[in-house]
Chains A and B, each alone.
Chain A
Amino acid sequence: MDLFLQQTLDGLATGAIYASLALAVVMIYQAIDHFNFAQGEMAMFSTFIAWQLIAWGAPYWLAFVVCLVISFVGGMLIERIVFAPIHNAPVLSHIVVFIALTLIFNAFAGFIWEFTIKQFPSPFPSELPFETTLIGPHELGVVGITLVMLVLIYVFFRFTPVGLAMRAAAANPVSAALVGISVKKMLALGWGLAATVGAVAGMMIAPKVYLEPNMMLGVLLYGFAGAVVGGLTSPGGAVIGGFLMGVLENLAGTYVIGSDLKLTFALVVIVAVLLFKPAGLFGRVVVQRV
């Protein structure tokens, strides 16, 4: 029973990271109807920036905040410079550009920081103030940070005018533009936010998987799985899906498939959900008009 609880809680911690990535993926999906295949590499690059700041002597939380600001601006710039010109291009063009961005971030990180693995510090104390063997301090911290971030995002979208404008721009760009919302700005803002959320995910997972340019590929796959399970049209669903994937990954790894087939597990989940319930658990069923 202890093992079960331990694995579940540990799964919630990784699930928090998947949930963040899933949320980032869904935010961009809602805005432009495309999967950001470069989300993982963007997060990795952000994490490297934070690592560099810390290596230069910045305290952790300062590096954390500066990294988020850089990621936010970087995300907006990517939208404005790279994606705005091909806004109406066919799907393949978007996929190709996402893949190109993946290549560029991956290789550029390798060029600047080399492909050797690096330690990334955890900001949380090494011991918990209370006795437990069920969950480690970093895991608890990750869950805490993620929940705080999710609440902030929820409040932002639910209760602020900008959040409302962003939702409007994503739901119906034409009408939003007619009531005076700058859809372009909202798109850029969405990208900035997604990049920031991704950066948090990167910095939270880096202490566990070590920092290197290829660290996010598997994590991104689980992020996608989370987004698909929860439903691509539902940010809240994506978060729940992310947590669910974290727990499922751990339980399946412990009791069913062992640790060597975790990516295959994500593949099976993605294909199965897309086949049997393409809208996901909480998504809206999209009806195609002929």
Chain B
Amino acid sequence: MNNVRNHRANPADSYELFGVKLPQLRMILLLIGIALALLLPLVLANFAIFQMTQVLVYAIAVLGLNLLTGYNGQFSLGHSAFYALGAYTTAIMIDRYDIAYYWTIIPAGLICFIGGFLFGLPALRLEGLYLALATFALAVAMPQLLRYEHFEGFTGGVQGIDVFKPDSPLPMLNADQWLYYFVLFWGALLIIGAWNLVRGRTGRAMIAIRDNPIAARTMGINTALYKSVTFGVSGLYTGIAGALGAIVAEFVAPDSFTFFLSVWFLVGMVVGGLASIPAAIAGGIFILYMPNISEEVISIFFGNDPSAKALIWVAFGLFLIFTVYVVPNGLAGLVRRFVIRYATRRGD
């Protein structure tokens, strides 16, 4: 009974912003978000839909990384490797074994779960920085592994594998729209999954391990198991993102999965904000649109000089440092601060 009363007395519920109670405001924003996600592709041009699809793919990958880092406090610079593993699983299944693309997503996720679990198994010994180092090594080694000549029969070596864009089975949707809804379906499923995961017993254990591993162990949490499983789940999310990404990009090749892809995910996570699910979507939007926008800005100053494109990355780097200094909790933290600053208690 006590529990129930405490739950009702969640202090945030009695606050309001712009005259709307916080839970309702959250619900309204959620509904607007869902409506936009569902309806926008019906009116947008194909290229914009393609970009939205990519945003979703990145958002899933960032969410995967966020589960690991934001909720469990483990670092990974190697998520490009899991993304690659998922992408190649899908590409190989479609190209070599003629399996329909929609059957490849779950196997890709499962393989990445196993991969992540196995890599995370030693995670208890590889704390913090050491894990970052090991995953850094994984990310750097991955393209070479994919290029390796003895795997060429599978991976296509340097050439990579072409994946053909699936046709839409529904007459009222074109191929781009169909693919968008396909990715949206998976994205929604994974977001709901993550939301349930972090609110439940497992999520509390993950967060406890992040906040104080020794205390968590004292409370009877099997830290080694939870850390490995979190790594596996994180790999699963990123692997599914990779599988969807391969279908969206219609192509996989070793050089698409370098260490810098891991950096993208990291940027998306940090800018979006740690330990927040909507932040993953913001992160996805950021890593897709930020290069385009900075390219526009740079072309104003430098014209079409090709080497000036490199400045995009300089801008990315500066933006990252700026984020760490000024808004260490990312956009999500900024929103949280805004709400705390302006929300008022009802009747005040």
Assembled-state Cα–Cα distance A216/B321 (Å) = 22
**A95 proximal to B (CB < 8 A):** yes
Interface of chain A: mostly helix, strand, loop or mixed: helix
Binary per-residue interface labels of chain A (88-108) against chain B in the complex, 1 for a CB within 8 Å, 0 otherwise:
010111011101111110111
> Who on chain A is nearest to B322 by CB?
A100
In the complex, are the beta carbons of B317 and A274 less than 8 A apart? no
B128 within 8 A of A: yes
Q: Does B190 touch A at the CB level, under 8 Å?
A: no
Query: Is B125 a contact of A278 with CB atoms below 8 Å?
Result: yes
In the complex, which residues of chain A have a beta carbon less than 8 angstroms from the beta carbon of B310?
107-108, 110-111, 115
Q: A93-B324, A108-B310 are in contact. Are A274 and B128 (CB under 8 A)?
A: no
User: Which A residues are in CB contact (< 8 Å) with B132?
Assistant: 35, 37, 95
A82, A92, A228: the one contacting B75 at CB < 8 Å is A92
A234 to B252 alpha-carbon distance, docked (Å):
42
Interface centre among A100, A114, A261, A263 (most CB of B within 10 A): A100
Contact B320 A100 (CB under 8 A): yes
In the assembled complex, B312 has its CB within 8 A of some CB on chain A: yes
A271 and B313 contact, Cβ closer than 8 Å, known pairs A37-B136, A96-B324, A100-B320:
no
**Which residues on A sit within 8 Å (CB–CB) of B112?**
none
The answer to whether B328 touches A260, judged by C-beta atoms less than 8 angstroms apart, is no
Tell me if A266 counts as interface (CB < 8 A to partner B): yes
A217 lies within 8 A of B321 (CB): no
Please give the distance in Å from B100's CB to the nearest CB on chain A: 33
Query: Measured between alpha carbons, how far is A103 from B328 in the docked complex, in Å?
Result: 19
Give the CA-CA distance A89 to B326 in the complex, in Å.
12
B140 on interface, CB distance cutoff 8 Å: yes
Contact partner of A267 (CB less than 8 A), chosen from B138, B147, B320, is B138
Contacts of A221 in B (CB 8 A): 136-137, 140-141
Given contacts A34-B129, A103-B317, A260-B148, contact A271 B311 (CB under 8 A): no
Do residues B214 and A97 form an inter-chain contact, with CB atoms below 8 A? no
- Pairwise interchain contact A274-B125, C-beta atoms closer than 8 A: yes
CB distance from B202 to the nearest CB of A (A): 22
- Collect the chain A residues with CB atoms within 8 Å of residue B137's CB: 221, 224-225, 263, 266-267, 270-271
User: Which residues of the partner chain B approach A104 to less than 8 Å between Cβ atoms?
Assistant: 313-314, 317-318
> In the complex, what residues of B have CB within 8 A of residue A101's CB?
317, 321
Given contacts A100-B320, A103-B313, A107-B317, contact A86 B325 (CB under 8 A): yes
The answer to whether B312 and A107 have CB atoms under 8 Å apart is: yes
B interface size (C-beta, 8 A) = 45
> B320 touching A96 by the CB < 8 A rule?
yes
Which single member of A82, A107, A266, A278 contacts B130 (CB below 8 Å)?
A278
- Chain A: CB-nearest residue to B312: A107
Q: Is the CB of A261 within 8 A of B263?
A: no
Chain A residues within 8 Å of B274, by CB = 92
> Which chain B residues in 104-134 approach chain A with CB under 8 Å?
122, 125-126, 128-130, 132-134
Cβ–Cβ contact B317 & A264, under 8 A: no
Contact with B along A15-43 (1 / 0, CB 8 A): 00000000000000000011101000000
Q: Does A85 contact B (CB under 8 A)?
A: yes
Residue A290 CB within 8 A of the other chain: yes
Distance, CA A82 to CA B321, complexed state (A): 8
B256: Cβ under 8 A from any A Cβ: no
* Interface check A275, CB cutoff 8 A: yes
**Bound complex: CA of A234 vs CA of B311, how far in Å?**
38
- Which of B122, B149, B263, B311 contacts A274 (CB under 8 A)? B122
Q: Which residue of A lies closest to B319 (CB)?
A: A100
- Residue-wise, chain B 325-339 has the 8 Å CB interface mask toward A (1 for contact) of 100100000000000
* Chain A residue at minimal CB-CB distance from B270: A96
Interface centre among A264, A267, A271, A274 (most CB of B within 10 A): A267
- CB neighbours (8 Å) of B312 from chain A are 107
Contacting A at CB under 8 A, from B260-277, are: 260, 263, 266, 270, 274
Find residues 125-150 in chain A having any chain B CB closer than 8 Å to their own CB: none
Chain B residues contacting A266 (CB-CB under 8 Å) are: 137, 140-141
Hey, which bits of chain B sit against chain A, CB under 8 A? 69, 75, 77, 122, 125-126, 128-130, 132-134, 136-138, 140-141, 144-145, 147-149, 214, 259-260, 263, 266, 270, 274, 307-308, 310-314, 316-318, 320-321, 323-325, 328
Since A225-B137, A263-B145 are in contact, a sample of 9 more A-B pairs with Cβ atoms closer than 8 Å, ordered by chain A residue number, is A91-B129, A97-B320, A100-B317, A104-B314, A107-B316, A111-B311, A260-B147, A270-B133, A271-B134
Q: Which 5 A-B pairs have the closest CB atoms?
A: A107-B313, A104-B317, A103-B317, A100-B320, A110-B310
